[in-house]
């Protein structure tokens, strides 16, 4: 069996996100006894694009940005995945995220593949007009390779519905007709889906609810900590309080974290962050580091920021009963082993945060037949998809006596491999 990138020991832990994604696949491939050709096929993207985007800045000079789009696998349907604007973007990060999107769409059983895109830039340093030129330039670079039957981008880190609107409009200019389904995460006025804004967090909350049932854990009044207070983290705060009755005692962003054992009020905290740009300094709280937040003794920990925050160095100190991964790739393979041995119930990223792509799929469906659902129907159908996916993974973990991430891989990889076989590719 091919083992080019085994899961590392804690002494030799790789933090390269694509190496981690491949290592996770390798473990699933061995358990599934995938044929070697299929294993090789699933370890690499089917295609990827590198391009340069010249942008005329407000000063009159031109800056050239580097962009990527990876279409990892489309055996089950068109590629699907977000576009990130981030100063530390790398092709390996995009590859890993495209791979995880492939497994994510498969694990929730929607007829899509996996893709991801990115631009190396800091959008916080760009004016609105510069950001619009960059967004339209990105679409010009990839327009030939995307579309509702090929690849459907969406927002991700530092991108938003306005950026999606610019991209959708640029696509219309290029192809000469309106095709709203080419982009998801759009504003409601341009064919966006009701319920998309909080879908990532809401889907994760549904899986936490079911995990607590399996563990006989009462979440009403139970504590939670949220690492990362962007879109997913803020909605996790709101929904964990409203739907589960949890008490959020700690949150953090890129500048640091805050702790209040009596709980943090959602509305007040969001208003404070909007005014100050950070949660640090919030009244009636003490400052803590992002690292300390991860190790708090809480019922549920929501990693909601970037990759590789739980590693072999701190996994043994994680005290949460449930780790609900709203971020992509927050836990390394070596850390997974430690958490499993310590009895921490991990809801893996590509299950936990699949609510976003699920509602994006709902948006594509609605765009196709030009009939739109209300928010209540979106929530109902999202709940059904996430709950079914949760129990499929949970049952696989019990049957194979493996951790939840491996179980999620077994479910997803088997579905993608079967689609490739049925197509006659392998």
Question: Annotated catalytic sites, by residue?
Answer: 116
Distance CA 100, CA 93 (A): 11
Letter string b/e over residues 233-264, b meaning 16 or more CB atoms within 10 A of that residue's CB = bbbbbbbbbeebebbbbbbbbeebbbbbeeeb
Contact 411, 393 (CB under 8 A): yes
Task: Give the closest residue to 43 by CA, choosing from 22, 28, 19, 70.
Answer: 22
Distance CA 357, CA 412 (A): 15
Phi-psi region of 287 (alpha: psi -120 to 50; beta: other; left: phi over 0): beta
Distance CA 205, CA 252 (A): 19
Contact 188, 153 (CB under 8 A): no
DSSP symbol at 38: H
């Amino acid at each position: 069996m091919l083992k080019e990138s085994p899961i590392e020991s804690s002494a030799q832990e790789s933090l390269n996100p694509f190496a981690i994604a491949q290592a996770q696949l390798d473990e699933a491939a061995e358990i599934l006894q995938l044929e070697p050709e299929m294993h090789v096929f699933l370890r690499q993207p089917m295609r990827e694009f590198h391009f340069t985007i010249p942008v005329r800045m407000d000063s009159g000079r031109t800056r050239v940005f580097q962009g990527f789009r990876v279409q990892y696998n489309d055996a089950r349907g068109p590629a699907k995945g977000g576009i990130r604007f981030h100063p530390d973007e790398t092709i390996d990060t995009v590859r890993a995220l495209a791979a995880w999107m492939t497994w994510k769409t498969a694990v929730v059983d929607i007829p899509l593949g996996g893709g991801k895109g990115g631009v190396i830039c800091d959008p916080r340093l760009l004016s609105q007009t510069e950001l619009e030129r960059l967004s339209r330039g990105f679409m010009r670079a990839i327009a030939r390779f995307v579309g509702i039957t090929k690849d459907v981008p969406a927002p991700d880190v530092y991108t938003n519905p306005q950026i999606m609107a610019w991209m959708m409009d640029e696509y219309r200019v290029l192809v000469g007709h309106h095709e709203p389904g080419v982009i998801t995460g759009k504003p409601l006025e341009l064919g966006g889906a009701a319920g998309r804004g909080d879908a990532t967090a809401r889907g994760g909350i549904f899986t936490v609810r079911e995990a607590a049932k399996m563990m006989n854990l009462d979440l009403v009044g139970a504590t939670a900590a949220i690492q990362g207070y962007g879109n997913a983290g803020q909605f996790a705060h709101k929904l964990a309080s409203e739907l589960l009755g949890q008490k959020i005692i700690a949150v953090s962003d890129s500048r640091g974290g805050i702790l209040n054992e009596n709980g943090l009020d959602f509305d007040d905290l969001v208003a404070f962050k909007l005014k100050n740009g950070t949660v640090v300094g919030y009244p009636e709280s003490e400052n803590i580091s992002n690292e300390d937040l991860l190790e708090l003794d809480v019922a549920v920990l929501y990693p909601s920021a970037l990759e590789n925050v739980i590693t072999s160095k701190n996994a043994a100190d994680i005290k949460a009963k449930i780790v609900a991964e709203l971020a992509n790739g927050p836990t390394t393979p070596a850390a997974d082993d430690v958490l499993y041995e310590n009895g921490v119930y991990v809801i893996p990223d590509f299950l936990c945060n699949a609510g976003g792509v699920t509602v994006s799929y709902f948006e594509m469906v609605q765009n196709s037949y030009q009939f739109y659902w209300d928010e209540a129907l979106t929530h109902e159908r999202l709940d059904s998809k996430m709950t079914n996916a949760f129990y499929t993974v949970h049952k696989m973990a019990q049957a194979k006596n493996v951790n939840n991430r491996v179980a999620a891989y077994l479910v997803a990889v088997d579905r993608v491999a079967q689609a490739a076989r049925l197509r006659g590719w392998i």
